[in-house]
Every structure is written in C-alpha cells, then in structure tokens.
Amino acid sequence: MRFRFAPLAVAVALAAGPAVAAPADALKKGTPAVNSISALAFGPNGLLFIGDPESATITAVDTGDAQPGGKGDVNVANLGEQVGAALGTDKANITVNDVKVNPASGTIYLAVTRGRGKEGAPAVVKMTRDGKLSLFELKDVSFAQVKIPNASDRQRTEAITSLAFIDGKVIVAGLSNEEFASTLRAIPYPFAEADKGTSVEVFHGAHGRLETNAPVRSFVPYKISGADYILASYQCTPLVKFPLSDLKPGQKVRGTTIAELGNRNRPLDMIVYTKDKQDFVLMANNARGVMKIPADQFDKAEPITTRPQGDTAGVKYETIGELKGVTQLDKLDDGRALVLIQDPPPAQGGKGKQLAPAADTKLILKSIPLP
C-alpha cells in the first residue's frame, strides 16, 4: 500500500495545535517557580511551554508575543558573550539548553543556565530578528503549571528531555521511576493533572536488544498515512516511530525502529520541513553531524528487529558536511532553519557523551537555507 505524507502546512499545524486561546481561567497571574529548564516548546498565540526536570513540572506562560515581527536573517557570532552580558555574567558561565522560534511572532527564545552545577540558575532570553537580546522575566506573568508524577529520582536531569505541543496536548519525553523508565506523556492543555504516562521500549539494533531505560533524546510530530506519529531519536542512534494514539496512561508500548543511524552518537535536535514538494527530517548529532532524512521512506521501512551487520541500517540519510558543531536547530520559516553552532565542535567522551566546552568556545546563532 502507498502512503501519502502530510504536507508541511499540516505538519506545522499538528505541531502548533489549534490556533485558539486558552480559556481565561486556564492561566493565573503570578511568578511561577522554575528551578531548571531543559526544553521549550510553543503552542498557539505565543504560548510558551517550559520543561523543568528538577521540579518535574511543565509551565505554560503567555508571552504576550503574538504579533508578527521581523523576518530578516539571523547572524550572531558572539552569542555567549551577548547572553552573558544580558544576564550579568560572562560566556564561561552560560549554557544554552534549547532554542525555539515563536511561530506567532518570529521572535527567538533561548533556554539558558547561568552558572555551573548546583549554582546554575535557569533563565529565558528572547532575541528579536535584529539581534537584540532581553531577559524574559518569569515574574508577574500569566501562567499555569502541571506536576509530572513519578519523574525519575535517580536521573532527574533526564526527567524531561524533549517537548512538543500537538493538537491540544503537551507531549513530554523523559525518564520515570517505572520499571520501563523511558516514558512519553501526552498532557492535555489547559492543564488539569498529568497521568503516569506511557512506558515505551525500542529495539536498539546497535546493541542487539530491546531497551526500556534509554530516554528519547529528541522527537518531532509527523503524519504518516493520515495518522499522527511521534518520530523519536535515541542515543547511538535508533530512529523510532510511535503512533500518537498509543500514548495512553499506564500502557507499555513498543515503537517501530526504522533506522540505525550510527552508534557512539547522541542526537541533539530535529525538525521537519518541506523542500521541492518533499518532506525531510533534519537531525543534529554530537558525533555524526547533521543528517537530512527523506520522509518518503517512513511508510515502507522494514522494522529493525535484529542487529545490523554494519553501523547503519534502515532508512537512508545524507550528511550535510558543511554544517559542523550544530547543537540546536529550529525552523525559522518555510525556507530557512535557525542553527546554534559551537565552535570548535563539541568534544566527545565515551559512548557518544558530550564533554564540557573549552574556555575559548564560541556560540554562533545564525539562519541558513534549508538544505
């Protein structure tokens, strides 16, 4: 059977959810407690979702940023210095954990940690298209929060690894205290409460076994044959699809592994885009560069259920050789991507782990044509 893939307009609508405002009583005015930020996502009308693994909470904030702004290119060659200056410190104390473009305005939002270790403090910094940075203060804002039950105690920093807003629900990837620790949660918005989520397992071809404790590192929503899917990437690097309809509270679900993209590698970020009437996934990795994956393979890819003979298997990809050191990416518009580049590229430790950047590392934020 041939499957038709959703055009980009549908994929974007799926990611952003219905373009309607939340009920007035869904948000309250105040200062939300946010102790860390690992991931950001946008909903409709400039609604920002903040993943806080330390407190195991998702915070929804009305940014008030819903009017179209600038549309120009982005090119900030000294992002670390500029963010440091905005936060009253230097670049050595700045870590950028996530970068997202507000689709309602085109404004760029950065999830930042100021300081290291237990002294680290979270901040959200926003940047206009002309490169002006300002602190987005989480004070006296309209917000709502929901607590994630049973978030991992042993690996709390991985309780929330990736977020997306899909058709009225916040999808949260991370680890729980369940026996199958890898978890995907679909939390309806406006928030009431979060359930225990869905425990997920995958066949990891490079390891030759089923795995239940490895978290999803990054994911994107995508439609396959008219059905909503989560396309998820894992360490070392299986690419797995999950039907969104399978994400039910308390269930255990096995995803379909459709690619092995190479071991000793950590996926960092993913986007979906359309070029020349074809859909692609663009994936940034810490050891294997930026991969361009044609989406027309996803319908007919044979599930990987045994250890492949080589490093890679399943759906094919192209490595974009000129893109080096990309640690974050997002769609800027229909023709451009926004990339955060670490120069020199991240040094690698064992098992694809990324080492701390050197003192002379530069952070570059710029727009590029979609490849």
Residue 272 has pLDDT above 50, yes or no: yes
| Contact assessment for residue 340 and residue 365, using Cβ atoms and an 8 Å cutoff | yes
Residue 65 token pair: 């940023």
Token couple for 316? 């094919």
pLDDT, tens digit (0-9, with 9 covering 90-100), for 191-248: 999 999 999 999 999 899 999 999 999 999 999 989 999 999 999 999 999 999 999 9
How sure is the predictor about 15, in pLDDT bands with cuts at 50, 70 and 90? very low
Higher pLDDT, 13 or 327: 327
If you average pLDDT over residues 94-101, what whole number do you get? 97
Cα–Cα distance between 301 and 215 in angstroms, integer? 23
Distance CA 43, CA 21 (A): 10
Lookup: tokens for 62:
């009305």
For residue range 331-356, what is the model confidence (pLDDT) as tens digits? Answer: 999 999 999 999 988 666 554 455 45
- Cis ω for the linkage preceding 190 (within 30 of 0): yes
pLDDT digits (tens, 9 = 90+) for 135-183: 999 999 999 999 999 999 999 999 999 999 999 999 999 999 999 999 9
- Distance in angstroms (rounded) separating the CA atoms of residues 187 and 170: 5
DSSP 288-322: S-EEEEEGGGTTTPPPP-S--SSSEEES--EE-TT
Whole-angstrom Cα Rg for the chain: 19
Question: How far is the C-alpha of 81 from the C-alpha of 89, rounded, in Å?
Answer: 9
Q: What is the pLDDT of residue 3?
A: 31
Higher pLDDT, 364 or 119: 364
Distance CA 34, CA 47 (A): 16
140 is written with which tokens?
């006296």
Query: How many Cβ atoms from other residues are within 10 Å of residue 213's Cβ?
Result: 13
The per-residue pLDDT for range 189-205, each reduced to its tens digit, is 999 999 999 999 999 99
Distances (CA, A) of 115 to 95, 119, 137, 207: 8, 6, 17, 36
Whole-angstrom distance, CA of residue 147 vs CA of residue 273: 32
The predicted pLDDT at position 69 comes to 83
Cα–Cα distance measured from residue 137 to residue 235, given in angstroms and rounded to the nearest whole number: 34
Q: Based on DSSP, count helices (H) and strands (E) in the chain, helices before strands.
A: 2, 28
Other C-beta atoms within 10 Å of 115: how many?
14
What is the pTM assigned to this prediction?
0.91
Sign for the pseudo-dihedral over CA of 166, 27, 108, 183: negative
Nearest Cα to 284, choosing from 122, 17, 159, 98?
98
Residue 4: pLDDT band with limits 50, 70, 90: very low
Largest CA distance in the chain: 58
CA–CA gap between residue 143 and residue 129 (Å, rounded):
26
Q: What is the pLDDT of residue 216?
A: 97
Phi, psi of 184 (to 5 degrees): -120, 130
Domains delineated in the chain = 8-193+201-369 (2.115.10)
Where does the pLDDT of residue 11 fall: very low under 50, low under 70, confident under 90, or very high at 90 and above? very low
